[in-house]
Structure 1
Amino acid sequence: MAAAAGGSGACLSLLLALLFLSLSGRCLTDRGNLAKPKNAQVDVMNSNFTLKWDWDGKCNMKDCNVTFSAYYRLVKRKLSRGWQKLSGCLRVSATICDFSSSKLDFLKKYRLRIKAEEGEKNSEWSSAIKFVPYEIAEIGPPDIQVEAVDGLIRINISAPGNSDKTPMWEASDFSYWVEFWKNNSTEQKQKKLVHYNDRIDNLDPNTTYCLKIKALLNGEKESAFSPVHCVHTENADANKVPRPKNVRVNALNRNFVLKWDWDETYGKNMTFTVAHCRAFEKKFKKKDCWDTVSGCEKVTTSECDLSSKIIFEGKYEFRVRAINGTEETAWSKEIEFTPSIDTEIGPPSKVKVKLINGSVYLEISHPEEDGSRSMKDYLGFTDLSYRVFTWTNSSNSWEKRFEEDRTHFAIPESELYPQTLYCLKVQAFLPTSNKTGHFSAIECVTTEAGPAGSGGSEALWVVAGDHAGTWRMESGKYSAVLVAVISFFSVAIVCLLVTGFCYGVYCLHRWIKYIFFPSCKLPSNIEECFHEVSLKNAFIPYAAEPTENCSITMNIVTENTEETDIKNYAEHCMQSSVDSGNYSNEDEVNDCPLEET
């Protein structure tokens, strides 16, 4: 019975325990279980961190004293520390908390979770969320101050988050975009501001302008616009002297000259003063960073040499004002100048071209080379390179033949055309920024006569130290062929003209000889009689002379009578023919009878 009584007691105890648990569960159900937080979200504005979440608990938070706590830990492969309390979000009674004082690293990744608490009771943890502060951060609108001064609007801008103890961004990371308009007009104008301290020029006098500004972070993010600010420009004064305009820096190598425009109708005897501000002084928020430039106080010309005042690696702003006795104009618009970026590269100091043993040698000196330093030694010019442009008398334009960071080149004789004029010019440039310099003076050299080897028919090689670059000479090849063809046809035409002229002269000579000097031949029996008479005289007419009758007394010799008669008769006829100009005249022959004695 004792055993039975013990078993009954145990069963009774079990029943009582079950009844107690049932009653306790009903009580908790009546009060409501602690639901876990959900939909947690982190918002970052500048350097301000806010955590929000939802909670669906059934009791009134004011009556049941429910609070919330958030914990975080760094996300990485090996955890060195567990969950840590999130400063600013411990036992808060609202579903929002500010944990800006937690000093989290902006670039690291974190995991965060929340639980509800009531006395000794805790809810389950919410789902953990992950975030990187820099990635989810939003940029707030900038704080601005606006005032109208000297017919322009001066703007001072405070970078977003600049007032925070640990700002997420540097002030120098921002640029700014402004929209401004006349108060009574819907037309808007835009201008991008480079610095937090700028001005808007060319405004109408006695006019109200309104503007709003937003911040741009390294081209990645932008803020919302600031509240609208309105200012009123002052009335124009016809007697007021205007300020200098179009302020600029003419920079070539290490020579810097500040220039500006001035309307001399307002006075020719004005003096000018130049002020400058260093960029690093603005960066550290120096309120008045402007200092007068030594040597540029009260200058009488509209320019000032700044070469000895500027550090090549620096960054500056300049402004100018005109002075007439005790009257001073407003300052001109400020301009920015960065020597390493805005300076123009001059031509090479020297370009030497020599012809040695038929080869052409080229030597280049860096711009502004004074023996100790050159432009190549200054910031931004360490990668100074050169382009070489060439021209020959057989081509019609300059061609880029070489582009390399060298200063010595050699063109072998075997790759040059003989007796050819080669001209070249050189230009410095920066490959990284695609900035080009001024051209050098043109240098020319004429190659020597003689065998030209390949004559550049394939390529022209430029050797620089142990490296070589190719100068293509295809145009020279085709030009040489063209010149040869033209020369051949020119010589052929000249030969044809000379041959035709000689042939014409020869024909003319024969025609004249045929007309005026005919070649007629006498019979052989008469030619023997006239062998002493010139043939030329036979073609010259003579005036006819009167013939005389004559008688010849001849002594007839008995021996050879017949031969003597014939001889005398021939002499008589010849005499008559010469005198009369006739070769034979029958009448005259009859007038010469032979008389015998």
Structure 2
Amino acid sequence: MQTHFAFSAFVLLGISAVVIADLPSPGNVTLQTLNTNYILKWEWEHRPGSKDNVTFTAQYLAKYKINSRKHKNDWKTMCVATSEHHCDFTAAELYYLGMWILRVRAQSNLHVSPWIQVEFCPDRDAAIGPPSAVVVKPVKGVLEVAISDPLSNRNTSMKEWVKSLKYIVQYWKDPLEMQKHKQLSTPRNLVTLSDLETWTWYCVRVQSRYDFYNKSSNFSPTYCEQTDGQMPYWQIFLYFLLSLALSFLIVLGLSFCFLKSFKVIKTTFYPSIQLPTPIQEYLGDSPGSEMPPLLTTESEVEICCDRLDILTTDTVDTDVVMEIHAPPQDSEQDGRNHSRHNSGDSGVYSTEEGSGSSQSSQALRGNEEVKLVKMGHISFHRERGPELDQRIQDACV
């Protein structure tokens, strides 16, 4: 019975050895690290003609447990049967100052490869990253550089793990003269660059440095800033003159625009072009025109016109009796009228002479009516008879 059991165990061990030896291990196992981010990478050379679906398993264990039979089963798996050629160990939260063993193997169906393991110490092997942020600003003729620490995977400062972390600050005067840079080393997060010229452009970049294991990060992006300083008096005076000239030009321009707009408005609403002479004569505006003006002011009416009242009877044949309110006549005309009335009253003239004198008086009165009508000095209170209208019309013609 014991012989049969020993034979069976020997057969199983031989089959197991054949199965393990049948699949090669992953090659070129390396770690890609930055601060507390760790990724284990490997290479796998696929055999031509093989139809096997190969997967990989990665594990980790503290180094002090590797030779202890008590902890030989304490391996913790991070990636199981993955087809990728890498495994992220960041979530494992490996102690930064500890020593760790990482291993990986390939498997396909019943075939597995031997484990390939690497020793890893984050404090010694993990790369340091550059500052998470750099701010450069001018302050009173100097440049202040504010440096933010590199961050862990939990967004905490790496100075929690690397106490002696410091920074290398490089700066140079002209963006094209980086080869002539200056640098300083400081553990502080706020650096003042004082040996600078005023009103000059400087470029700055920062690198993290861990001297214990001689580790240095890449440089941060380059930041360029101009220094400030007290402005010279001649420059202040020049700026004053320029501002004064600019203000004068602005006021001059606004004045020119205002005058131009005023002229345009005046020309539009009050044109300076006179009306042609025929139109002025027609409207009666030109001096010496025979045409009466279209409109007569009230003052002209009061000066040139007297009111004339004409009273007529209801019948057409009745003589028209007019009252003329005209300016007083001269003394000669008054004497002639007075002598005519005296001679009529005395009865010296005969009936024939009386009738002739009456007709002559009517003709004279008619001529005076026509003359007054033409002068615009009379007005009628009632409708005129046809004979008077015809007589006035003939006289006007």
TM-score range, shorter chain: 0.3 to 0.5
| Greater relative contact order (Cα < 8 A, sep 6+) | 2
Task: Give TM-score, length-normalised by structure 1.
Answer: 0.33
Kindly indicate which of the two structures has a greater share of residues assigned to helix: 2
Q: Which one has the bigger strand percentage? A: 1
Larger radius of gyration between Structure 1 and Structure 2: 2
